[in-house]
C-alpha cells in the first residue's frame, strides 16, 4: 500500500476517534490536513511515525537532545502576553515596545510565563520513549537567559515531563546550537525550526522535525522536510 494511503488512513482513524474517549493528554485528532504530511512525502522527503522511530534506534542507550519552544512546549501564550499586555505604567506594555529585546521579558518567560506553556503530547510520548530506553536527555533552547540561571526552565521541564534531569537547560541566546550539540555528544536532535535541523545536520547527527502547532505564534522559518531531516508524523500537538 502506498505510504501516503497509510498516512491518510491513520489520520482518518484518529480524526474519527476524536478525543471523547482519550486519556488526558492523549489527544489524537489532528488540526493539520493529511495533505500536510502527504505533501512532504510527495516532495520526496521522509515522514516517520513514532513507532518507526522507536524501532530505528540503536539497542544501546544514547544521548538525545530537544529544542524547547514548539518542540516540547507550546509556549505561545507567554509570547502572546509579552506582545499584548498593558500591565506597564499608564497601560503600556510592561516589557517595552519590543519585548523580545528586553531582558525583563526573557527573565519573566523563564521564571513565570512558562506557567502557561503546555507540554506537547508528542513530546510526552518521545520523552517517555527515551526514558524507557535509559537514554540521556538534554534540552537546548535559543532563548536568552539574562539572569544566568537555567534552573527555573530546567525545573519546569522536569515537572512537566517527569524527569530527574541533572543537565541544566542550555540557552544559546539566539546563537547556533551546533557546538552545544557536539559538546553534549548528542546523537539525535528534535526541533521544529529550520535552524534546529541545520544545526543538527552541521553537527553530523540525525535530525527529527517536530511539526509546529497551527496555533503557534512563532514566525521563525519551519519548512518541514526540506533540510534532509525526517518529519515526525502527527507531531503538531
Please state the closest distance from residue 8 (CB atom) to Mg ion, in A: 28
Decide: 102 and 176 in contact? Cβ < 8 Å. no
E-assigned strands of the chain? 46-48, 63-66, 73-74, 118-119, 136-141, 170-171, 188-191, 206-209, 230-232
Segment 75 to 134, residues that bind Mg ion, using CB under 5 A: none
Decide: 65 and 170 in contact? Cβ < 8 Å. no
Helices and strands in the chain: count of H runs, count of E runs: 9, 9
Please state the closest distance from residue 203 (CB atom) to Mg ion, in A: 17
Decide: 140 and 168 in contact? Cβ < 8 Å. no
Which of the stretches 12-20, 99-107, 127-135, 187-195 binds Mg ion when contact is defined by CB under 5 A? 187-195
- The conformation of residue 37, written as its DSSP 8-state character, comes to H
Q: Which of 45, 47, 65, 70 binds Mg ion (CB under 5 A)?
A: 70
Q: Which of 125, 192, 199, 229 binds Mg ion (CB under 5 A)?
A: 192
Is residue 128 part of the annotated active site? The answer reads no
Nearer to Mg ion, 125 or 192 (CB): 192
Is residue 194 part of the annotated active site? The answer reads no
Q: Which of 31, 46, 69, 234 is an active site residue? A: 69
| Stretch 38-67: interaction string toward Mg ion, x if CB under 5 A | -----------------------------x
Please state the closest distance from residue 213 (CB atom) to Mg ion, in A: 11
Taking the CA of residue 115 as centre, how many other CA atoms within 13 Å lie in the half-sphere pointing to its CB?
A: 6
Work out whether the CA dihedral 54, 56, 59, 61 comes out positive or negative. Answer: negative
Compute the distance between CA of residue 76 and CA of residue 153 in angstroms, rounded to an integer.
15
Please state the closest distance from residue 10 (CB atom) to Mg ion, in A: 25
Q: Looking at the DSSP assignment, which residues form a beta bridge with residue 74?
A: 118
Residues in binding contact with Mg ion, number by CB under 5 A? 5
CA angle 177, 98, 224 (to 5 degrees): 40
Q: Which of 34, 69, 75, 213 binds Mg ion (CB under 5 A)?
A: 69
Compute the distance between CA of residue 57 and CA of residue 10 in angstroms, rounded to an integer.
23
- The conformation of residue 192, written as its DSSP 8-state character, comes to S
Nearer to Mg ion, 70 or 229 (CB): 70
Our finding on whether 199 is near Mg ion (CB under 5 A) is no
Q: Which of 31, 59, 67, 70 is an active site residue? A: 67
Please state the closest distance from residue 191 (CB atom) to Mg ion, in A: 6
Contacts with Mg ion by CB under 5 A lie at 67, 69-70, 192-193
Could you list the active site residues?
A: 67, 69
Amino acid at each position: 500500500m502506498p505510504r501516503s494511503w497509510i498516512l491518510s488512513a491513520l489520520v482518518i482513524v484518529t480524526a474519527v476517534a476524536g478525543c471523547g474517549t482519550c486519556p488526558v493528554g492523549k489527544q489524537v485528532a489532528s488540526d493539520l490536513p493529511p495533505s500536510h504530511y502527504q505533501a512532504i512525502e510527495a516532495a520526496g522527503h521522509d515522514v516517520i511515525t513514532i513507532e518507526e522511530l522507536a524501532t530505528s534506534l540503536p539497542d544501546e542507550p544514547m544521548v538525545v537532545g530537544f529544542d524547547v519552544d514548539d518542540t516540547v512546549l507550546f509556549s505561545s501564550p507567554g509570547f502572546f502576553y509579552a506582545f499584548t499586555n498593558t500591565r506597564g505604567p499608564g497601560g503600556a506594555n510592561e516589557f517595552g515596545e519590543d519585548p523580545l529585546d528586553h531582558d525583563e521579558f526573557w527573565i519573566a518567560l523563564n521564571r513565570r510565563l512558562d506557567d502557561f506553556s503546555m507540554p506537547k503530547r508528542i513530546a510526552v510520548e518521545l520523552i517517555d520513549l527515551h526514558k524507557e530506553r535509559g537514554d540521556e536527555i538534554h534540552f537546548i533552547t535559543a532563548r536568552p537567559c539574562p539572569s544566568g540561571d537555567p534552573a527555573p526552565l530546567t525545573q519546569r521541564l522536569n515537572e512537566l515531563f517527569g524527569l530527574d534531569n541533572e543537565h541544566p537547560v542550555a540557552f544559546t541566546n539566539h546563537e547556533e546550537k551546533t557546538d552545544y550539540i557536539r559538546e553534549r555528544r548528542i546523537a539525535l536532535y528534535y526541533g521544529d525550526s529550520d535552524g534546529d535541523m541545520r544545526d543538527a545536520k552541521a553537527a553530523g547527527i540525525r535530525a527529527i522535525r517536530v511539526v509546529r502547532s497551527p496555533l503557534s505564534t512563532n514566525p521563525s522559518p519551519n519548512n518541514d522536510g526540506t533540510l534532509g531531516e525526517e518529519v515526525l508524523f502527527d507531531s503538531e500537538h
